[in-house]
Structure 1
Amino acid sequence: MIEAALVPFQFGFMQNAFLIAVIVSIPTALLSCFLVLKGWALMGDAVSHAVLPGIVLAYIAGIPLIVGAFIAGMLTAVATGYLAENSRIKQDTVMGVVFSGMFALGIVIYVSIQTNVHLDHILFGNMLGVEPQDLWTAGSVSVLVSAALILKWKDFLFHAFDPAQARVSGLSVNLLHYGLLGILSLTIVATLSATGLILAVGLLITPGAVAFLLVRSFAAMLLVAVIVCMGSMLAGVYLSFFLDSAPAPTIVLLLTLIFVLALVRKSLRTRRASATV
């Protein structure tokens, strides 16, 4: 039984999948805490879909795909913020229009060119086909994003709770706002080879939502989110080997299950507290 349980670790492609899972889990988990508190769940969804045309255009131009993805993500985020601030339309409506339009544009451009890059790998990821270059890219982005969030977590937290008070306190609200958008775009680039564009949303929201239900302090929330995300990713990759399923959807299903369990636990504790009052 022990030998059978260790079989997945004997293959190089599985080792790379486990490694990319560890690398990606840290920045996505940290960022998810800020997105949950700030109410930017739809923003993560919007940016993850909107980078598709940037990826396709980068392929046509012969430049690294991550460059096109980052530029498209930032343009989408900036355009969404500008339209929301300078029109009567609410931000969630603007995001819905912008990301659906960008995603449709990416699909139209993709089907109009000849490419050996399969669309499924872009949309849903290809963890079992991760190459050393992908590991280096994801690792570099992970270190950069994690360092920025850890060093400036108090400022980002203050801005998430009360932007007006943050401005009065002397913080650069615009820098924090667009800095967080830039971090979001970079994180999606890091997850591109692992979970793809669509399933990246699960990693950017669920770990923070689970931690929000389990703990009360933000520092503990960051730690719990990382543990939940990393554990789910490693377990999802491991289980996918025996279930003969794709790793990314398996990971998201595990995260969803953990969220449901955390929600049930929170509800039971709330009922007990109400009953004792």
Structure 2
Amino acid sequence: MIEIYSRPELFSGSCYDIFVEMWTQSFMVRGILVTGVAAIVCAVLSCWMILIGWSLLGDALSHAVLPGIVIAYLVGAPFSIGALVAALTMAGLIWFMRGKGKIKEDTAIGVAFTTLFSIGVVLISLFPSQIDLHHILFGDMLGITRFDMMQVFLISPVALGILLYKRRDLTLYAFDKVHAYTIGIDPRRLGLTLIVALSLTVVVAMQAVGAMLIVALVITPGAFARLITNSFSKMLCIAPLFSVSCVILGSYFSYWFDTASGATVVALQGTAFLLLWTIQLVRSRIAAKGTIPGTPLVAPAD
């Protein structure tokens, strides 16, 4: 029989013990604050990621940072610098290989990210060190230091600023690349801009949830928002709100039941998405067969 660890003293105490005590712990506040900031950036980015169909690219960049982290440790540089260099290198390779020869983009992504990830594991085995592979892969939301906070608070505004500054162009790129080209927008350059923003976002989110779970933060919020609304402008509001709510609720659950914080947040997001998707599926089955198909997603006029 599996024994589930929990904190029964919380549930036998007052509302203060249940809902407020967590906020008196400085490590919890730091973790929630940093993860919340990362979740906002990831959620905004996810709205474009799901429309363009770049889910696999987000997964690839999150895995490709491993060799950069190991090399950064060996030379004494901050992990975030190594991760960013590795992510940008991965993005550059994919961008260079796409559309050239007989290799399709998804094939290039698959080969590149598995190769870089394997190189990272090999480097760890060749150079025994204090690097915690579990921490890199799954993050340490509750072990975030002040230096980690500083990195997140410096990088997040840059990534979010790029997305907001290029919002109209990116939206047009997501809906109609041909039209974007005809009005003088270079889709290739705009796609590269989005990849740079994704690379920065991967570095930010890695501090909280690790390399393995980043892809969930940059996909699930946008997918959840897409189920709720057909308006892209509303998606940009719903996705961050949903993501931050999951961070707070997941942190409570993690604190009460002593579970892995980053994984709990991601699991909560996935559960909420699957629940909403199931509800909508059941409702569509119950509805009359002659229902009008859903209206297409409408790009914002502004």
SS of residue matched to 2:122? helix
Residue matched to 1:72: 86
Structure 2 distance, partners of 1:110, 1:46, is 19
Tell whether the 8 Å contact from 1:33 to 1:222 is kept in structure 2 after alignment: yes
Q: Which runs of 5+ in 2 are unaligned?
A: 1-13, 292-302
SS in structure 2 at match of 1:193: helix
Identity value in percent: 35
2:25 pairs with 1:11: yes
Counterpart in 1 of 2:176? 162
TM-score, normalised relative to structure 2 = 0.88
TM-superposed deviation, 1:111: 1.6
**Corresponding position: 1:179 with 2:190:** no
TM-score of the aligned structures, taking structure 1 as reference length: 0.96
Take 1:159 and 1:132, find their aligned partners in 2: how far apart are those partners? 38
Q: Does 1:101 align with 2:115?
A: yes
Q: Distance in 1 between matches of 2:59 and 2:26?
A: 32
Query: Of the candidates 99, 115, 130, which is equivalent to residue 85 of structure 1?
Result: 99
Shift of 1:172: 2.5
Q: Distance in 2 between matches of 1:178 and 1:160?
A: 13
Structure 1 unmatched ranges of 5 or more: none
How much is the aligned-residue C-alpha RMSD, in angstroms?
Answer: 1.4
Which residue matches 1:150?
164
For residues 44 and 85 of structure 1, the distance between their equivalents in structure 2, rounded to whole angstroms, comes to: 19
**Residue of structure 1 in register with 2:213 after alignment:** 199
Q: Which amino acid aligns with 2:137?
A: L
Paired residues of 2:35 and 2:205 also in contact (CA < 8 A):
no
- Provide the C-alpha distance between the structure 2 equivalents of 1:118 and 1:66, rounded to a whole number of angstroms: 15
2:81 alignment partner AA: V
Higher fraction of helix? 1
Give the 3-state SS of the residue equivalent to 2:184 in structure 1.
Answer: coil
* Distance in structure 2 (CA, Å) of the matches to 1:151 and 1:103: 32
Conserved? CA contact 1:21–1:234, under 8 Å? no
Which letter does structure 2 place at the counterpart of 1:210?
F
- Which residue pairs with 1:209 in the alignment? 223
The answer on 1:189 being equivalent to 2:209 is: no
In 2, Cα distance between equivalents of 1:248 and 1:263: 23
Query: Following TM superposition, by how much is the alpha carbon of 1:265 offset from its aligned partner in structure 2, in angstroms?
Result: 3.0
SS of the equivalent of 2:193 reads: helix
Does the Cα contact within 8 Å between 2:95 and 2:192 map onto a contact in 1? no
Q: Which has the larger radius of gyration?
A: 2
